[in-house]
Structure 1
Amino acid sequence: MGPDRTGGAVVTTRANRLVTTGCLTILIALIIVLGVVVSWLWYRHWHDGNVNSERSEKAFALIRKQARAKADDTARALDTSGTTDADALTGVIWQHSEAPAITYDASRREFTATAARSARYDHAVVLPGGGPVQVTRCFVVTYTHRPGRAWTSRVSERDDDVCRPSTQIGSRVRLALTRISSMYAEDLTRAGVQDALDPTGRRSFDVKNVVREGDTMTVSVLVLSSAAAVDQCYRFTRPVPGDDGQGSATAVPTSSC
């Protein structure tokens, strides 16, 4: 009588079925887990998108609110300044708005200040790469004075391109402050300052005048942007304690050089 192969075949079949069932169970479990993960990721993407949109809108609203508040504060400061001098009024506007570019239209008795304003918010994401995000808006503020009336301000939100020259001028003013502050007093001549500010001759600065009064040096500079016909006069002032001394400079825009 030969060996009983029927029992072995049954055992093998049952083992194969168990393996197949186990693999199928594992596969179903993996599919379920994967579906849960995908659903969770989709929900987080949707949720974070809504959160980021809300935070972005709040940041933009804050920028607009601050721009209007600064414009109102500046108009009140112009009212109380008690001066009609264009340079002095330009200084008042700059002190309160810190706008790098401020132009004056004498025929309209109107100043125009152009500046970009920024705010930050936390950008929410599931994967690494989140964190603070900076948003920026461009504003042009017009300050007008009519005889017998108070100063008024009008705030206009513009495309980012409008503020690029102003932002560039602001960056170049900060560079000029650093270089003028580091110069020796004996080098603070018109040619010396021009060479220090624009050593490569790229025409970013045009030094108009350098005047020393006592222990103070005043440098008038036309700061140019890359845009055509967009520039701003600035008056740089720094102490000159001695021929070998250095000092911290300050800068304020003026209506003319």
Structure 2
Amino acid sequence: MNRLVTTGCLTALVVLIVLFGTLASWLWYRHWHDGNVNSERAEKALVLILEEARDTADDTVRALDTTDTTDADILTEVIWRRTEAPVITYDASRREFTATAAKSVVYDEKVMIPGGGPVKVTRCFVFIYTHGPGHAWTSKVSERDDDVCRPGTQIGNRSRLALTYISSMYARDLTRTGIQDALDPTGRRSFDVKDVVRKGDTMTVSVLVSSSEATVDQCYRFTRPVRSDDGQGSATAVSASSCG
């Protein structure tokens, strides 16, 4: 009986060792496999971001080449619509625009336990557009540290917030003071309403949007219909070279 019990225990122990060994090998393989899959997906996402940045630069140059104007505001709007860059500066001496924007791509992370899912890959880019001799536009794209794009990302978020507020305001409140109080009730100076102009049934609001500590700012022009004093309306926004 003792011999049978000993033999049974040894058999059970061997079975457990084999099972644990098989499980450990499978877990190691899954960890290795999932890691390789995720690395490949991250690399593909990065390649896609770089391709999109170059395509954006090329598309913007084509749009600028077909824009027969030297007006900085119009050219800023053209660049903004193509790049979606929240911050665009203009150097008149060099006839050069600089647009700073963060670009993102999402991929699905593969994991064998809960906790995976969409992963966002973000890179910061600076687009430089120069109007050279012969009225031809050229572009240059460079990748920068995330810190370079951080103020612009904040300004982009705040400009969208301003768009929401201006769209929801009653027409009778769309005065310079009314908009300033609505956008910046605490006086942090994140928004500075520079001008409010009404022409017919359209209101145009120029707002200087600043990042924290006012390190970077950008002018935005918001346009919305005002068909009655009590009405609300969907506003639109464009980036401008200045609020003057």
Question: TM-score, structure 1 length as denominator?
Answer: 0.93
Report what 1:146 is aligned to: 132
Verify the 8 A CA contact 2:106 2:120 in the aligned structure 1.
yes
Of stretches 144-153 and 206-215 in structure 1, the one that deviates more from structure 2 is: 144-153
Task: Kindly provide the amino acid, as one letter, of the partner of residue 99 in structure 1.
Answer: A
Report what 1:114 is aligned to: 100
- Aligned to 2:65, the other structure's residue is in SS state helix
Of stretches 223-232 and 56-65 in structure 1, the one that deviates more from structure 2 is: 223-232
Report what 1:4 is aligned to: none
Task: Kindly provide the amino acid, as one letter, of the partner of residue 60 in structure 1.
Answer: L
Matches of 1:143 and 1:28 in 2, distance apart? 71
- Aligned to 2:237, the other structure's residue is in SS state strand
Deviations 1:196-255, CA, capped at 9 Å, x for gaps: 001111211000010101000000000000154311000010000100011001110100
Structure number with greater Rg is 1
Q: 1:228 to 1:182 in 2, by over 3 A?
A: closer
- What are the equivalent positions in structure 2 for 1:79-90 lying under 5 Å apart? 79-90=65-76
Residue 203 of structure 2: which of 195, 213, 217 is its match? 217
Report what 1:40 is aligned to: 26
Verify the 8 A CA contact 1:117 1:136 in the aligned structure 2.
yes
The CA deviation at 1:152 is: 0.5
Task: Kindly provide the amino acid, as one letter, of the partner of residue 35 in structure 2.
Answer: G
Verify the 8 A CA contact 1:165 1:227 in the aligned structure 2.
no
- What are the equivalent positions in structure 2 for 1:168-179 lying under 5 Å apart? 168-179=154-165
The CA deviation at 1:24 is: 1.1
Deviations 1:83-133, CA, capped at 9 Å, x for gaps: 100000000001111111111011110000011111111101111111111
- What are the equivalent positions in structure 2 for 1:175-194 lying under 5 Å apart? 175-194=161-180
Report what 2:17 is aligned to: 31
Verify the 8 A CA contact 1:206 1:222 in the aligned structure 2.
yes
The CA deviation at 1:149 is: 4.3
Report what 1:102 is aligned to: 88
Task: Kindly provide the amino acid, as one letter, of the partner of residue 93 in structure 1.
Answer: I
Report what 2:43 is aligned to: 57
The CA deviation at 1:135 is: 0.8
Unaligned runs of 5+ in 2: none
Report what 1:5 is aligned to: none
Unaligned runs of 5+ in 1: 1-14
Matches of 1:107 and 1:228 in 2, distance apart? 25
Report what 1:235 is aligned to: 221
Runs of 4 or more above 4 Å deviation: none
- Aligned to 2:212, the other structure's residue is in SS state coil
Task: Kindly provide the amino acid, as one letter, of the partner of residue 35 in structure 1.
Answer: G
Identity of aligned residues (%): 77
CA RMSD of aligned residues (A): 0.9
Deviations 1:52-109, CA, capped at 9 Å, x for gaps: 0010000010001001001100011001011100000000001111111111011110
Matches of 1:120 and 1:146 in 2, distance apart? 36
